[in-house]
Every structure is written in C-alpha cells, then in structure tokens.
C-alpha cells in the first residue's frame, strides 16, 4: 500500500471512529517543525481546516506578523514584545489612564490608542465607533487567548488587518451578503426587503466586529482562523447561515 493510500485509509478510519482532524493536526505539526515557517502554507491550511486550539495562538502570531517565520527568533522577539507591552502599560498607569481595577479589554484599548497616537485627553471622553469595535474584539479575544501579552498583540494586529488589508472589502460585504442570500433563498431576501428589515440587519456586528459578541467562542475562533489567514468573505457566508437558521425557527 502506498503512503498516500495509507494516509487516505487512516483518514477514513479516524473519521468513522469519531477522531476527525487527526491527519490535519499531524500535517500542521509537520509545517510547524520547519526551521523557517512557510506562511503561505499556513494560510492555506487555516483556510481549509480549523486550527487545533493548542497551536492557534502561535499560528495567528506568525500570520499576523507578531512573530517572524524563523523559529530561533521567536523567544527573543516575544521578549521585546513583552517589554513594549509593559512600557506602554506603565506609561498609562503613570498618567492615570488605567489602574489595576480597569477591565483588561479597556486596558488593551488604551494601549492601542496610545501607540497609535489617538489617546483622548481624558478617560471620561466617549468612545469613538472604531474604539467600540476594538473593545468588542478585545473582549472576545480574552476568551480565546490566556496570556495578556499575546492577547494584546493579536488583538492589535487583528484590528490593524481589518483597517488596512480589508479596509476596501468590508464596506462591500453587505452587498455580497444579499447576493449570496438571494442565491440560497431568494424568497427570504424578498421578504426581508418587503418588511424593510434588510437595511436594519446588524451589519456592524457581523462585519466590522467580525461577529465579536455575537457568536460563542468555539465558533468565533474558527471564523477568525479564516479572517487571520486572509479571507474576510467567510463573514458573508456565516451571516447567510445565521439567517437561514433563524428562518427555520
């Protein structure tokens, strides 16, 4: 039996006994053993399969540019990332923008504002819409990433990707959503338009916040695997599925 046929046989067997994803996990582990991580292959893997929880933070940090592809540099780079995190946090405490009692997601927001030159004059100033988006994503990320340094950096780079790479794509998603919903269930779309519900759908929650605060962590992290690895179109398909599910109810 050839190696490929053995692999296919094992995949079928594992799925039959309830161990789906075993071969995928092994494939990812092989990719992560390379001296220089191939980001293109990691992106392809993340687009095709959900990332195992134990490797998710590492893969996200590499794909978001927090860590370089070279393994030998990871420890030193993360040391610098941690030092920067602690310096910014200390600065915010000195100017009394945050304290030990400040919710962690808000701390991340203030750090992001300070580093991007957008820190308001007072903590009492109302939040801007972009701040609300960051805060929602940070709160969701807290449930996925335990380490506070990792959580801040991943949140920061995730939001930056939304604001740069997907800046032109995100405003187009509501239109794409209606197109795909029309293909899946034209009658449902017609009904939503007739009762003036289509324009009132929570597009900001779905697309700008990438479903942060909308989906449970187990589902959200799988959606974000695709967003991190280069596809924001997954958000459209998730939105369509949500409406089709509620239509049944």
Say how many Å lie between the first and final Cα of the chain, rounded.
49
The answer on pLDDT for 195 being more than 60 is yes
Per the DSSP assignment, residues forming a β-bridge with 36 are 70
Q: What is the pLDDT of residue 24?
A: 82
pLDDT tens digit string along 10-40?
444 444 444 455 578 888 999 999 889 999 9
Please give the domain boundaries of the chain with CATH numbers for all domains: 165-248 (1.10.472.80)
pLDDT of residue 21: 52
Q: Judge contact between 215 and 223, C-beta under 8 A.
A: yes
On whether the CB atoms of residues 107 and 151 are closer than 8 A, the answer is no
pLDDT digits (tens, 9 = 90+) for 101-122: 999 999 999 999 999 999 999 9
Phi, psi of 70 (to 5 degrees): -80, 125
So what's the pLDDT on residue 246? 86
Is the per-residue pLDDT at 216 higher than 60? yes
Residue 198 has pLDDT above 80, yes or no: yes
Residues 6+ apart with CB under 8 A from 33: none
């Amino acid at each position: 039996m050839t190696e490929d046929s053995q692999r296919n046989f094992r995949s079928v067997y594992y799925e039959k006994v309830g161990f789906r994803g075993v071969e995928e996990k092994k494939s990812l582990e092989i990719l992560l053993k390379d001296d220089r991580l191939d980001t293109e292959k990691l992106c392809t893997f993340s687009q095709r399969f959900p990332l195992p929880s134990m490797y998710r933070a590492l893969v996200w940090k590499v794909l978001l540019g927090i860590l370089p592809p070279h393994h030998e540099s990871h420890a030193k780079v993360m040391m610098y990332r941690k030092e920067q995190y602690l310096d910014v946090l200390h600065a915010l405490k000195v100017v009394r923008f945050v304290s030990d009692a400040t919710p962690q997601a808000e701390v991340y927001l203030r750090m992001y504002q300070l580093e991007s030159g957008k820190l308001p004059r007072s903590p009492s100033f109302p939040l801007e819409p972009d701040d609300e988006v960051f805060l929602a994503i940070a709160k969701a990320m807290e449930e996925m990433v335990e380490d506070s340094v990792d959580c801040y950096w991943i949140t920061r780079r995730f939001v930056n990707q939304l604001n740069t790479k997907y800046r032109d794509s995100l405003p187009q998603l509501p239109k794409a959503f209606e197109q795909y919903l029309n293909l899946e269930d034209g009658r449902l779309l017609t009904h939503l338009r007739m009762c003036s519900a289509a324009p009132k759908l929570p597009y900001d929650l779905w697309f700008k916040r990438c479903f942060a605060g909308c989906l449970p962590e187990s589902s959200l992290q799988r959606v974000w695997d695709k967003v991190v690895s280069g596809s924001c179109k997954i958000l459209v398909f998730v939105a369509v599925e949500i409406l089709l599910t509620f239509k049944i109810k």
